[in-house]
Structure formats: structure tokens, C-alpha cells
């Protein structure tokens, strides 16, 4: 984990250094949400995935930006989730904090392709639902960056595949019935309001 954090720090420092040489670019911050469907091992028990995120986009070259993202993601059980102060909760929800760094490329106009990698931190007690408190997170996406009159404001719409990589279950265990095995993966739609700094 220390090596991963060191790599993230080096990449982010490089992004700031490169930006200093590119005076015409403008960094932006965006905040938004995601909603979608779980895929793979846990799709039967946790079919719905979603979350909220904050993203810093730092342009480093023509049509290329470095991205730093942090947020909160969740997976809701098939019988839903409800909390009542008098009766407690019903259903289950798996909670994670993702922190990633990545690159965004604009190959045509405002269309972008993005790839992020980082760490996913398990918020559930006693490593419930997963085998690791911290796991590798990978998230490729494609989308479109709308502008509102000026380049300082806009809306990013994208489709992404997010996967929290976990160890596979031994051959004698069905991972669908035993939480600590199998990756949490999802296909999600993301929307984020963007503004320039």
C-alpha cells in the first residue's frame, strides 16, 4: 500500500510540474454522482451500485489532463436498504471510499477517454463483504464534456466500469454466498458539474 501511495504522490507532483509549463490551460473541479448496475460475483446479492465523487482535472498538454478523484461508493442489497431510528436497519449496503489518479484524453472535440487507478478503502466493520481493508481500484470510462457558455463551467457525462479487485474464491466455495471473495464491479453512468479555478 505504501508503494501505491508513493506512486500516486509522484504522479500528482509530475502533473503540477507539467501544468506550470502550460499557462493556457485551466484546472477544473467537478462534483457529481454515479448510478448503475453491479456486474460479476456480487450482482445477485448487491444489484445496485452508486456513489458521489469530487474530481480535480489538471491539464498538462494539448487535449490531455491528469485527474485526481475521491468519493464514496456503495452497493445496495437486492431487498433494498432502509434505516429507521426506532427499528434499526433492513437490507444491506456495502460502503467504500475510492481515491484514484488517472489521465483523460480528448481525441475529438469534447469527447473524452479516461483511465483511473488507485485504492478503495472498505468502510464496513471487520472487513465485512470483502477480504481486504484496502484493495486496488481500476476505472476506465468514456464520456462527453459539455460547456455552458464559457470554458469555466460545464457538465461531464460518462459511462464507466469500476472494479475493486479482490482475491478469487477457492474452487470449493461459491463466492456469491460468501462475501469476502470476489471483486466488487459495476457499470455506472456518471454526471458531474464542472467549474474552473
pLDDT tens-digit profile of 6-34? Answer: 545 554 454 444 443 333 478 999 999 99
Length of the chain: 197
Instruction: Region of 109 please: left (phi>0), alpha (psi -120 to 50) or beta.
Output: left
How confident is the model at residue 167, as a pLDDT? 74
Instruction: Choose the CATH number for 2-196 among 1.10.10.10, 1.10.3720.10, 2.130.10.10, 2.40.160.20.
Output: 2.40.160.20
CB of 181 within 8 A of CB of 169? Answer: yes
Q: What is the dihedral of CA 118, 165, 188, 73, to 10 degrees?
A: -70
Report pTM.
0.79
Per-domain residue ranges of the chain: 2-196
Chain segment 30-59, per-residue pLDDT in tens: 999 999 999 988 888 899 999 999 999 999
d(CA 92, CA 45) in angstroms, rounded, equals 9
Residue numbers in the chain where pLDDT is lower than 50: 7, 11-12, 14-24
Amino acid at each position: 500500500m505504501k508503494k501505491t501511495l508513493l506512486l500516486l504522490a509522484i504522479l500528482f507532483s509530475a502533473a503540477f510540474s507539467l501544468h506550470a509549463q502550460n499557462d493556457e490551460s485551466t484546472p477544473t473541479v467537478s462534483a457529481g454522482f454515479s448510478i448503475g448496475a453491479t456486474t460479476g460475483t456480487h450482482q445477485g446479492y448487491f444489484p445496485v451500485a452508486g456513489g458521489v465523487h469530487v474530481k480535480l482535472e489538471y491539464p498538462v498538454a494539448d487535449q490531455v489532463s491528469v485527474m485526481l478523484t475521491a468519493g464514496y461508493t456503495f452497493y445496495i442489497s437486492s431487498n433494498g436498504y432502509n434505516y429507521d431510528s426506532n427499528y434499526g436497519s433492513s437490507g444491506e449496503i456495502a460502503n467504500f471510499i475510492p481515491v484514484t489518479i488517472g489521465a483523460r484524453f480528448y481525441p475529438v472535440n469534447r469527447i473524452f477517454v479516461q483511465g483511473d487507478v488507485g485504492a478503495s478503502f472498505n468502510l464496513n466493520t471487520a472487513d465485512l463483504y470483502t477480504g481486504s481493508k484496502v484493495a486496488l481500484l481500476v476505472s476506465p470510462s468514456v464520456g462527453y464534456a459539455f460547456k455552458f457558455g464559457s470554458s469555466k463551467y460545464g457538465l461531464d457525462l460518462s459511462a464507466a466500469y469500476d472494479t475493486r479487485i479482490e482475491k478469487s474464491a477457492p474452487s470449493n466455495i461459491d463466492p456469491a454466498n460468501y462475501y469476502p471473495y470476489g471483486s466488487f464491479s459495476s457499470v455506472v453512468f456518471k454526471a458531474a458539474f464542472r467549474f474552473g479555478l
